[in-house]
């Protein structure tokens, strides 16, 4: 019988768990669980910036930049304390605006979750703050949004006016876009034309149609079936207006173009009106030269990769962090284990993209609020259980040799 092969170097590369832990916190918890089982193992922690919560802080820390605080309009219209990042090093002159900091789902109280009523106005205020500070390039991280207003709120914060047929300003909220009839761009922020704006987004998300954001993400953001249909119709009207009236709308597929549905349609609004580029988020955040450490280099040296996200389900293969990690790990020839808050419908499909095994942090039924509050402890325990299974598998393999 051969000796048991214990992993010597493990890469932990997770996303955040919405409303519980950011990616850095998830990575620390998993690493702690691993070390309970293999105390001396080398664990490389690589919290994956995916455009959602924690992205601005992660990139600021990695580049020697700073987080700039800002008080802006939150998704429900009330002021919130937010931030944007001024990057350092070779990325000086680049700002990162994390839409979740101003329009994230966590900023919407559970009893007020209606994506037809929330606004991205605060996101536009953060972009304006970065422009005023001299940013020449602005990366907008799209993720964890609680909005579906097609970017109309952000555009209005940047000086655009969305008007109804009577020339009145359309109220904030996606459902009101059904009444939008024209765009007045005469007051648009002057520095918009001088800066490069890039949205780091999930390009699988589109604005309209059967897979449009209202139908796919509306229920997750609190919409009833009736509200989903109302919002879907309003975004159809908004798409038609953008195609007709915006400077870049006629040159792009506003309705079903890649990334147009990012952050509830923020992608469509900023691309059609500001000329923003919609790019795959990992291409921008991982391969765009922002980070001093290469994920692919770490993968090449790992014996095992553990990735994680709040829910592994049928949407995971469509551009989520575990799918990206699995794709890169397959190229490197490294096995992947996925840990999730919950395993939902279609979760086994991730095996087809290269995730060898999956595990949930939940061992008994519990309310969502309890799981969110105890996410760190549950993750540590799940990582420990998973590593014990890895060692058991290694022991069986050694016995069979």
Q: Which residue has the tokens 């799918």?
A: 323
Look at residues 236, 246, 199 and name the one whose alpha carbon lies nearest to residue 214: 236
Closest C-alpha to 137, from 88, 178, 198, 78: 198
The reply to whether the predicted model has a pTM over 0.85 is: yes
Q: Are 152 and 116 in contact (CB under 8 A)?
A: no
- pLDDT at residue number 1: 45
Q: What are phi and psi of 84, to 5 degrees?
A: -135, 165
Q: Is 29 within 8 Å of 325 (Cβ atoms)?
A: no
* Contact call for residues 54 and 48 (beta carbons, < 8 A): no
| pLDDT < 50 stretches in the chain | 1
What is the reported pLDDT for 369?
Answer: 86
d(CA 277, CA 290): 17
pLDDT at 289: 83
CA triple 214-219-225, angle to 5 deg: 80
Radius of gyration for the chain, computed over Cα atoms and rounded to the nearest angstrom: 22
The pLDDT score that the predictor gives to residue 3 is: 62
């Amino acid at each position: 019988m051969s000796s048991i092969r214990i992993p010597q170097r493990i890469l932990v590369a997770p996303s955040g768990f919405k409303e519980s832990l950011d990616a850095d916190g998830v990575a620390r918890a998993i690493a702690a669980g691993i070390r309970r089982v293999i105390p001396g193992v080398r664990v490389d922690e690589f919290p994956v910036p995916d455009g959602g919560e924690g992205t601005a802080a992660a990139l600021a820390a990695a580049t020697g930049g700073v987080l700039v605080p800002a008080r802006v309009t939150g998704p429900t219209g009330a002021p919130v304390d937010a931030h944007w990042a001024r990057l350092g090093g070779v990325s000086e002159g680049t700002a990162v605006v994390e839409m979740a900091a101003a329009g994230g789902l966590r900023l919407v109280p559970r009893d007020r979750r209606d994506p037809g009523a929330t606004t991205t106005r605060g996101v536009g205020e953060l972009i304006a703050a970065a422009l005023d500070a001299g940013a020449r390039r602005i990366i907008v991280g799209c993720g964890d949004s609680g909005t579906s207003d097609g970017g109309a709120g952000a555009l209005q914060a940047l000086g655009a006016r969305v008007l109804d047929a009577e020339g009145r300003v359309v109220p904030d909220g996606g459902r009101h876009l059904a009444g939008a009839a024209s765009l007045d761009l005469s007051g648009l922020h002057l520095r918009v034309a001088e800066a490069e704006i890039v949205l780091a987004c999930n390009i699988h998300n589109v604005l309209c149609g059967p897979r449009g954001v209202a139908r796919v993400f509306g229920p997750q953001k609190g919409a009833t079936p009736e509200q989903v249909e109302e919002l879907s119709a309003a975004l159809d009207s908004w798409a038609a207006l953008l195609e007709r009236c915006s400077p870049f709308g006629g040159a792009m597929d506003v309705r079903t173009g890649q990334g147009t549905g990012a952050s509830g349609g923020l992608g469509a609004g900023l691309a059609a009106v500001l000329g923003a580029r919609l790019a795959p988020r990992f291409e921008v955040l991982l391969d765009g030269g922002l980070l001093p450490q290469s994920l692919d280099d770490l993968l090449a040296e790992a014996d095992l990769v553990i990735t994680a996200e709040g829910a592994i389900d049928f949407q995971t293969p469509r551009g989520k962090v575990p799918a990206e990690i699995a794709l890169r790990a397959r190229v490197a020839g490294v096995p992947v284990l996925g840990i999730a808050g919950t395993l939902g419908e279609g979760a086994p499909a991730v095996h087809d993209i290269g995730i060898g095994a999956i595990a949930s942090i939940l061992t008994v039924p519990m309310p969502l609020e309890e799981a969110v509050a105890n996410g760190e402890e549950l993750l540590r325990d799940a990582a420990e259980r998973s590593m014990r299974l890895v060692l058991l598998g290694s022991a069986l393999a050694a016995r069979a040799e």
